[in-house]
Amino acid sequence: MRLMNTTLRTIKSSIKILVQEGGNGWSSFKIPHSVTQYRRLMVSQCMKNEDPKSDSNETINLEEWKSILKLGTQSREKEEIQVHEDSSLNGMRELVEMWRLAGRAVPELVTTEQLKVLMELPTKTARKKYLKFLCIKENIKRSNKEKKKEIKSKMEILDQLKKDDTRELKNTFLLKFWDKSMDLMQRWKSAQAMKFGQPIVFDMVYEKYMSRYELENTVRQVMECEGCNRRSDDPFHLYFCSLQTNGPYHKELVKRYMGAWDNILVTTTEKSHVDIFPQDQLVYLTADSPHELKQFDHNKIYIIGSLVDKCQQTGLSLANAKRLNLATARLPLDRYLKWDVGAKNLTLDQMMRILICLKEGGDWKKALSFVPTRKHEGFIERVPTNK
């Protein structure tokens, strides 16, 4: 009789857990083994009270945990749900579940598409990396959701407070300065730059040297560049050169800008920069260059290679510049900074910010404040003069 009670209670409690977790919205995903996720070898509460002797007794029953577990598992077998799916995918899903129980960095919910990507990865390490990536993504998503909820509840309280005291209208000089007006002003400036601004070129020929992730990162950085250029006081005229229509770059840019792609004020062209500009004005910026950029020249056209190289392809952009017989330059990082760790190649948006600052007449110290501080220990105080 007691045993019956035990089993009944276990079933009840586990069902309760299932119901609780079910509220989190994963009913939208197709999860065949929902049970294993929350499975733990359960024992009913009464077991605790039932066995007072081991608490007080001197001799400890070492095998006791086994009997407890066995009792707990008897009820479990009835709950098995059989869902038919592709057998190899199913095996993989089970494995992922078990990895999660074993405490590895694995996401809680895996969609069938993600599983398919996982199956296609060639090595064990690649699979582990992908799962870790999914896990981190999931965690970020979850924490963002929580934050949003918090902010929402705070806003509601604020709104209620506001409603109480904003009965009468105030006397103001301006209407509320909306983002729209800011946008309009920036677009005017950009349009001006399109007409009279100094050109700056993003060389988009590196598509085939990059993996998918690197390409996505590059496009993100290019967008960031466009954004900070638009916000600057005196924007550059941006050129996206050698941008193949319907190539990977183009596709990704259109996807990320969504409708705005046709409206942004940059020049995109399939032509190379050497076809558009006179060769003696072009300067290719690359960290491998033997020449240091002494000062910013307002008559030159600087080229930035839009490339994120996570696998350290040394000399790639230098080779391109050599091939086209262009002048090259690198930032004088060693002259002004006590370099500590990290590669000397900066991200595109850092590069853009440095150039904007130089263009606006800032000195090197101000411009190089955009170099990440983790990479250097500070500025060299007395800058050595050139011999």
Partner 1 sequence: MMSLRVCYRKVYKKSFVRNGFRFSAFTPVLFPIDHTVMCKAAQSICTSLSAQASANDKKPLVTESKPVRFKDGGRGSPHSFTVFSAGSAKERSNIMQNKVKTSPESQYESLKKREVNVPTVPLGAKEWSKLKEEFKRPGKFEEFMMEQMISTKSDINVAKSLLTFAAKEQCGISYKLLLKYLALCVQQHQIAEVYDVYEIMKNSFKSFDTGAYSLFIKGFSQTDRWKEAITMLEKLKKSITPSPRNYGECIQGAIQHRDKNLAWALYKEMLQAGLTPCEETIQSLFNAELDLQDDAFRNNLIDILNDFRDHQIYPGEPLMQSIKSWFESTPNESWKGHISSVSVNGYCQNCKQQLESIHLMPEEYNSLKDIFIHSVIQGHDTFRKTTPQELQDFQQFVRSRPPYDVVVDGLNVAFISNKGAHSKTLLDVVTSLASGGKRVLVLGRKHMLQESRTWLRQHIKLMQQRVDCFFLDNISEDDPFLLYASLNSGSHCCFLTRDLMRDHKSCLPDAPTRRLFFKWQRGHQLVIPFYTPGSKLRLQPIMCYDTILQRTNFSWHIPFDKMGVNRASFEVPKTWLCLQKKH
Give buried/exposed letters for 291-330 (b at 16+ CB in 10 A, else e): eebeebeeebbbbbbbbbbeeeeeebbbebbeeeebebbb
Distance, in Å, from the CA atom of 115 to the CA atom of 182, rounded to the nearest integer, reads 45
Rank residues 98 and 140 by Cβ distance to partner 1 and give the closer one. 98
Q: Which stretch binds partner 1 (CB under 8 A): 86-94, 133-141, 174-182, 191-199?
A: 86-94
80: contact with partner 1 by CB under 8 A: yes
Which of 73, 111, 186, 192 forms a contact with partner 1 (CB under 8 A)? Answer: 73
103: contact with partner 1 by CB under 8 A: yes
CB of 315 to partner 1, least distance (A): 5
| Ramachandran angles phi, psi of 32, nearest 5° | -75, -35
Give buried/exposed letters for 50-80 (b at 16+ CB in 10 A, else e): eeeeeeeeeeeeeeeeeebeebbeebbeeee
139: contact with partner 1 by CB under 8 A: no
Rounded (to 5) percent helix, strand, coil in the chain = 55, 10, 35
Count interface residues toward partner 1 (CB under 8 A): 52
53: contact with partner 1 by CB under 8 A: no
**Minimal CA–CA distance to 68: which of 36, 46, 90?**
46
Rank residues 14 and 218 by Cβ distance to partner 1 and give the closer one. 14
What's the one-letter identity of residue 336? Y
Q: Could you tell me the two tokens for 275?
A: 């076809």
Q: Which stretch binds partner 1 (CB under 8 A): 87-95, 129-137, 251-259, 353-361?
A: 87-95
What's the one-letter identity of residue 312? Q
Q: Which stretch binds partner 1 (CB under 8 A): 36-44, 167-175, 247-255, 346-354?
A: 36-44
Rank residues 315 and 342 by Cβ distance to partner 1 and give the closer one. 315
Q: Which stretch binds partner 1 (CB under 8 A): 102-110, 154-162, 163-171, 366-374?
A: 102-110
- Mapped onto helix, strand or coil, the DSSP state of residue 373 is helix
What's the one-letter identity of residue 119? M
Which of 20, 24, 27, 88 forms a contact with partner 1 (CB under 8 A)? Answer: 88
Q: Mark residues 291-330: x for contact with partner 1 by CB under 8 A, - for none.
A: -----------------------xxx-xxx-xx-------
Which of 1, 19, 25, 63 forms a contact with partner 1 (CB under 8 A)? Answer: 63
How far is residue 204 from each of residues 207, 239, 242, 269, 328, measured CA to CA in Å?
7, 10, 5, 10, 17
**Minimal CA–CA distance to 7: which of 79, 63, 65, 61?**
79
Rounded to the nearest 10 degrees, how much is the dihedral formed by the CA atoms of 340, 342, 347, 353? Answer: 0
Q: Which stretch binds partner 1 (CB under 8 A): 19-27, 38-46, 269-277, 339-347?
A: 38-46
CB of 95 to partner 1, least distance (A): 5
Which of 1, 19, 60, 258 forms a contact with partner 1 (CB under 8 A)? Answer: 60
Q: Which stretch binds partner 1 (CB under 8 A): 42-50, 141-149, 266-274, 350-358?
A: 42-50
5: contact with partner 1 by CB under 8 A: no
Which DSSP string corresponds to 126-139? Answer: HHHHHHHHHHHHHH
CB of 344 to partner 1, least distance (A): 16
CB-based contact 6:44 (threshold 8 Å) = yes
CB-based contact 35:45 (threshold 8 Å) = no
Which of 18, 47, 109, 194 forms a contact with partner 1 (CB under 8 A)? Answer: 47
158: contact with partner 1 by CB under 8 A: no
Q: Which stretch binds partner 1 (CB under 8 A): 92-100, 268-276, 299-307, 345-353?
A: 92-100
| Ramachandran angles phi, psi of 75, nearest 5° | -75, -20
Q: Which residues between 108 and 137 bind partner 1 (CB under 8 A)?
A: 124, 127
Rank residues 40 and 180 by Cβ distance to partner 1 and give the closer one. 40
Q: Which residues between 226 and 285 bind partner 1 (CB under 8 A)?
A: none
Distance, in Å, from the CA atom of 126 to the CA atom of 130, rounded to the nearest integer, reads 6
CB-based contact 95:78 (threshold 8 Å) = no
For partner 1, the binding residues (CB under 8 A) are 33, 36, 39-45, 47-48, 51, 54-55, 57, 60-66, 68-70, 72-73, 76-77, 80, 88, 91-92, 94-95, 98-99, 101-104, 124, 127, 290, 314-316, 318-320, 322-323
